[in-house]
Structure 1
Amino acid sequence: MSFSLHPRLAADSTYVGDFALSQLRLAGADFGPWLLLIPRKHDIEEIHHLSPSDQQTLWQESALVANCLESLFTPDKLNIAAIGNLVPQLHLHHVARFRDDAVWPNPIWGHLHANPRPGPQQTALVNQFRDALTPQGLTVLS
């Protein structure tokens, strides 16, 4: 069966591009930046449900995303998590955190009430990530 993105992930984020295994999306919340890495596998809810090879690929792609966030934004901390309590489809959150953000030092889950990021800012961030990650293997489907 082909990859199908959970409706909530589709509604709450913008497509950035695809790595070999995962789709990369930018969360629409005006916070972070906050990226989502979603393996394009059907009915996978946990990392350990992936094949060993796909687990390694996911960690490599996660490291690319983390390095990109550090390079572009110099956050005080990166929060990387696979929570999935509300959206069971496996996805990794990569959130750049700053000591002056709205909920520091608390985790964002259960504490953050962010408005949607304005469209022009969302588009600018998507393009910034595409520019930075295309040399790292990100492809963009039109």
Structure 2
Amino acid sequence: MEECLLDDFILDRRLESDSDSVMQTGLCDLRLSKDARWPWLILVPRRANMTEIFELTPLDQVLLTFETEMTAAALKKITGATKINIGALGNIVRQLHVHVIARFEGDANWPGPVWSFGKAEPYEAGKRDEFIAKLREALSS
């Protein structure tokens, strides 16, 4: 397997335009979706040319699992969500990324999926910044 250097990593344009970076973890760029209807985080492993979890090295697979669970627990803690949805689909954006989404009974499409439902609603800058600060605090404790 060809080694994927961090220096070769380039974030997919759609991920870049549809989300804001929250922080760099050991492996991933943790990002917040710009759709305010759901607290929606995206973990993007900073490895070049990855499309599938099984393409990662065994160590990176462990790191991704750890960072996904850490992110999910922090999201549940700060939102009090009914359910945390985790998925790595990649049908539209091929670059490997994992969605971690807080869902609530009665949210915009409960209990249906968030993908391709309605029109995205942008965050108010202050609310986005406040949410990111809470998330960073939860992930650093």
Q: Structure 2 length as normaliser, TM-score?
A: 0.91
Q: Distance in 2 between matches of 1:110 and 1:9?
A: 15
Q: Is 1:114 equivalent to 2:120 in the alignment?
A: yes
Identity %: 39
Runs of 5+ consecutive residues of structure 1 not aligned to the other structure = 136-142
Select which of 66, 70, 87 maps to 1:81: 87
Q: Which structure would you say has the larger RCO, counting Cα contacts within 8 Å and 6 or more residues apart? A: 1
What displacement does 1:19 show? 1.0
Between the two proteins, the alignment pairs up a number of residues equal to 135
Post-superposition CA distance 1:26-71 (Å, at most 9, x none): 1100122100000000000010110111101100000000110111
**Paired position in structure 1 for 2:107:** 101
Which AA in structure 2 matches 1:26?
Answer: L
| Displacement over 4 Å in runs of 4+ | none
Output the aligned Cα RMSD.
Answer: 1.1
Once the two structures are TM-superposed, the CA of residue 112 in structure 1 deviates from its matched residue by 4.0
Distance apart, 1:3 and its partner CA: 1.5
Deviation at 1:75, TM superposition (A): 0.8
Structure 2 alignment gaps of length 5 or more: 1-6
Q: TM-score, normalised by structure 1?
A: 0.90
C-alpha distance in 1, partners of 2:80/2:121?
23
Change over 3 Å in CA distance of 1:131–1:34 after alignment to 2: same
> Within 2, Cα distance between the matches of 1:56 and 1:37?
14
Aligned pair partner of 1:55 in 34, 52, 61: 61
Match of 2:16 among 7, 10, 21: 10
Match of 1:33 among 17, 34, 39: 39
Alpha-carbon distance in structure 1 between the residues aligned to 2:132 and 2:9: 22
Cα distance in structure 2, aligned partners of 1:118 and 1:86:
27
* Equivalent-residue separation in structure 2 for 1:56 and 1:21 (angstroms): 10
How far off its partner does 1:109 sit? 1.2
CA distance in structure 2 between the partners assigned to 1:4 and 1:118 by the alignment:
28
Deviation at 1:113, TM superposition (A): 2.5
